[in-house]
Structure 1
Amino acid sequence: MVSTHRGASRARLGNAPAAREWTVIETLRGNPDQISVVLKKNKPQTFLGLGRASLPRTMLEITVADCLRSGVTISRSVTVNDGRTYRLVTMPIIGPTGSIYAVIVWSASIIEQMPQIPKVGAMEWSPSGVLTATPAAAYLLRPPNDRPAGHTVPELLASFEDWEDKFGFFAMFEMFSLNGNSRTDEWAGSAYKRYEDGTLHKLHIAARAVGTGAQRRIRAVVCDVPTTDHPTGTDVAVAALRAVPILPGHALALVDLGTAFVHEWITDDPHLAGWPHHHPTYDNDGRARVAATCYDLALGQPAATVEARIRFNPLDDWIDIHSQWKRLDTIRPQAILDITPAVPHPPPISGCSLCADLVDPRRLK
C-alpha cells in the first residue's frame, strides 16, 4: 500500500513500472470514485480507467485522493518489492470555481530528471454556453478577446481551425431529446488552434456535467497535445453557410437546433459584427418563439420566420430583429438564419470597447 504522507515517505509495492511522461487524471466531479485518465504518454484518452494507466491502480487511487484532500503538490518516494525507489509527484489543477478539476502524476527513478510539466487548463460552461476559464486554459484556448464575463460558443469555435466531434459536445447542452438521443453527461474531443506564431496545436478537451437543473454546469480540462495531425476541414453546414450571399445590414448564422447555440456568425455590417462575443437575452415572448422554432425545425419543419426582441446588456434598449430560418439536413439538425435588425445600424453594446471600436467613425472611413 502507498503511504499518504507527503515528503520523503516510502511504501512497499509490487514491481511497478515507471511512468516516464506525465499522466493527466480528470477529477471533474470531485469524487475519488469517479476519476479517469484523459492523457497518457502525451496521447489523448477518453475517460480511460485507472487500471489501464501506466502506474498501478492502487497507487493512483491513493495518491489522487491525497491530492484532492490536500489541494497541494505532493512529492514522495516509493519503494517497490525489489528494493528500487521511485519518485512520485502529483499536482492539482484548480478550476475556475476553486475545486480541483484534474491531478497530473509523474513517476520515475529518483535519479531521473522530471520532464516538462504538461500545459493543462481547467474551464466551465454555463447552461447557456458561456465559458469561464482559468489563466492556463485561456492561454491554451487563446480566444480572440479578453472578456472577464466569459466567452461564447460562436467566438470560441470561430477561433479554431477544427473541433472534432463538435456535435457530441453540443449534446451536453440538449434542450430536448432529438431522434431518441438524450442529453449526454460526458464528452471528449480535440480542437485545433493555430497560434500567433503560426504553430498548430491540438487541444484535447475532456468534459463532464455536474449538478442538475439550473445548477447544471459543464466542467472540463484542456491539454496541449503534441501532434503531427491536421484539421479534417470545414463541416458541411459551415461550408453551406459561407456560400450564402449576405445582403447589406444582414447577418447569417448557423444554429444547432437541439441547443439553440449559434456557432457560426457571418456579417459585413460592423454594427452586427460584435454580437457573437456577447450572450443574447430574449424577452419572454421571443425566448418562447425561438425554443418552439428550434423544436419544430428539429422535427422536420423546413423553414420558419421569427420576430423577437434581444439585448446583450440589461442597460441597453431592446433590439427588434427579424429572422428567417432554413433547416439543414445534417447528422445533427442545424438551421441557417438570416437576421435583420428592425432599425439599421443598432448602437454598440454598452460597456464593450470592442463593439465601440468596430463602429468608430474613424475606423469606418
Structure 2
Amino acid sequence: MTAPDRPIPERPSPAAMPRRTGRCTHGGPQRRTSNRWVVAETLDHKSIPSVILDGRYRRHFANLGRASIATSAAHARHLTPLVRRCADNRRTEHELLPLPSGSVLRLTADPIFGPSQNVFGVNLSAGPPTDTPTPPPTIGAIEWDVLTARATISPDFRTLLDISEAQLDSPTTVPNLISHFDRWDDRTGFLALFDLTNPAGTWIGTATTQFTGKQRHNLHIVAKRIHGHRLIRALVCDISPTDPPPPPDPIYAALRRAPITPGHALGIIDLHNGLIHEWIADEPFAHWRNSTPQLHPDDIPVVATARTRLLSKTSTTTITARIRFDRASRWILVQAVCTRITDDDRPQALIDVTFSR
C-alpha cells in the first residue's frame, strides 16, 4: 500500500524572501528583580562592600555583584559604586537603569548608620520608578573599642529589640551585653576578634534574646575587625520571621542561675586575650559586670604569669591583685582562683573572685 500523492509546496522565490531579519528580542537569560532588600556591609570603608543578607537568606560576606536584585551582569556592575556613593555621602541614593524591554529599573540605596554616625551598611532594593519603595528593614549596629572591650550601640539596635536605654546601657561591656542573650553562637570565634596579636578579621554568628515583656528575637550578627584601628564593627539583623529562634542554651541558663557563695563572684575568661566575657555575681560584685577594672601596674606581670601557666596546661592557679574602676578610687585587693575549663584551641578559665584579707 502506498501513500497518496501529496502536493509539493512551492519554494518562495528569492524576491519573496525577506532582505533582513528583525533583531532577536528574547536575548539571554534574565534574573527576575527581587522585591526583597539586600543588605550590604560597609563596616571597613577600605574594603569592598559585601552582602550579608539577601532577602530571607543569610550571606557570609558574599559578592555584591551576585545579589538577587541584579537583573543582569551589566546592572550588577552598578551596585558597588552605588553602595560606596551612599556610604560616602551618608544619604539615600538612587540610580535608574534601562531594561531590554524598554522600561527602567530603579536602584535605591539607604544608609545604615553606626553608633558614631558612620555608615556601617547599605540597604539596597530594586523596582519600577513608579512604585513606592518598600521601607527598608531595621538593622542595628555595634562598635567595640578593642582596648577597653566596651561596646557602643546604635539607636536602631534598640529599635530592633524594642528596648529602652534603661534596659541596656551604652557604652557597655562584653559580659553585660552577652548577659542579655540566652544563646550566642559561636562565642569563641567572636572572642578571637579581640586578640591583640593576629586577631580574627571577621566573624558571623547568631544570638537569641528576649527582654522582659518583649518577643523573642533571633539575630544574625556580622562583625569585622577594622584594619589600622582598634575597633570592631558589627551589623545586627533580626531573622526571626524566617528563622524562628532556637531554644535557649541550657549551659548558659544553668551557669547564670548557679548558687554563689556569699562574698564571691564567678566569671569566665578567655586565656588568649584575657577578656572576661561572663560575670555572675550578687552585690557587692554585681555592678562590676558593666565596669572595666584597671590593674595596678605592679600586678600586671602577676596576672600575665597566671595566664601563661594556664595556657601551658596548668589546671588551677591563684592570684592576688589590686584593681580599681577609675583614677579617683582606691585600690581594691582581690583574690582569684583560676581553673582551666577547656583544652581546645581557644582555652577558657573559670575564675572565682573574692576580696582578699
CA distance 1:258–1:231, change in 2 (3 Å) = farther
1:247 to 261, 266, 273: 261
Q: Deviations over 1:188-242 (max 9, x none)?
A: 1111111333411112111111144xx4211111112234433354375x57855
Mapped partners of 2:218, 2:226: distance in 1 = 26
Higher deviation after alignment, 198-207 or 108-117: 108-117
CA distance in 1, matches of 2:303, 2:236: 32
- Alpha-carbon distance between aligned partners in 1 of 2:180 and 2:168, rounded to the nearest angstrom: 13
C-alpha deviation, 1:263, in angstroms: 1.8
| Amino acid paired to 1:135 | P
* Matched residue, 1:7: none
Corresponding residue number in structure 2 for 1:314 = 327
Which consecutive residues of structure 1, in runs of 5 or more, have no partner in the other structure?
Answer: 1-13, 177-181, 344-365
Structure 1 residue corresponding to 2:157, chosen from 137, 140, 154: 137
**Equivalent position amino acid for 2:40 in 1:** I
- 1:363 counterpart residue number: none
Tell me the residue number matched to 2:355: 341
- Cα pair 2:41 2:122 within 8 Å, conserved: yes
1:124 aligns with: 143
What amino acid is aligned across from residue 340 of structure 1 in structure 2? Answer: T
Could you tell me which residue of structure 2 aligns to residue 6 of structure 1?
A: none
Equivalent residue pairs, number: 320
Q: Which has the higher contact order (CA 8 A, sep 6+)?
A: 1
Aligned residue number for residue 231 of structure 2: 217
CA contact (8 A) 2:115 2:155 kept: no
Return the letter of the residue paired with 1:281.
Answer: Q
Q: Does the C-alpha gap of structure 1 residues 139 and 256 become closer, same or farther in structure 2, counting only changes over 3 Å? A: farther
Give me the whole-angstrom Cα distance separating, in 2, the residues matched to 1:239 and 1:327. Answer: 21
Measured at CA, do residues 84 and 147 of structure 1 come closer, stay the same or move farther in structure 2, by a change above 3 Å? same
Superposition map of 1:87-102 within 5 A? 87-102=106-121
TM-score by length of 1: 0.80
Q: Distance in 2 between matches of 1:124 and 1:43?
A: 24
Q: Deviations over 1:69-108 (max 9, x none)?
A: 3221123432212212222210111223332211110112
Q: Does 1:200 align with 2:216?
A: yes
Give the unaligned 5+ runs of structure 2: 1-28, 71-75
The answer as to whether partners of 1:254 and 1:262 remain within 8 angstroms in 2 is yes
Deviates further, 325-334 or 137-146: 137-146
**2:56 match:** 42
Kindly provide the amino acid, as one letter, of the partner of residue 264 in structure 2.
Answer: H
* Aligned 8 A contact 1:18 1:109 in 2: no
Report the AA paired with residue 342 of structure 2.
D
Instruction: Kindly indicate whether the alpha-carbon contact (under 8 Å) linking 2:320 and 2:356 is maintained by their aligned counterparts in 1.
Output: no
* In 1: Cα distance, 2:207 partner to 2:81 partner: 32
- Residue 163 in 1 paired to residue 177 in 2? no
1:1-365 to 2 correspondences below 5 Å: 15=30, 17-31=32-46, 34-56=48-70, 57-127=76-146, 128-140=148-160, 142=163, 145-148=167-170, 150-175=171-196, 182-212=198-228, 215-225=229-239, 226-231=241-246, 233-234=248-249, 238=252, 241=255, 245-268=259-282, 270-329=283-342, 331=344, 332-342=346-356
CA drift of 1:65 comes to: 2.2
Deviation at 1:293, TM superposition (A): 2.0
Inter-partner Cα distance in structure 2 for 1:98 and 1:48: 25
CA distance in 2, matches of 1:239, 1:293: 29
- Structure 1 residue 286, shift from structure 2 partner: 2.7
CA displacement at 1:16 relative to structure 2: 5.7
User: Normalization by structure 2: what TM-score?
Assistant: 0.81
Q: Distance in 2 between matches of 1:131 and 1:200?
A: 22
Equivalent pairs: percent with the same residue? 33
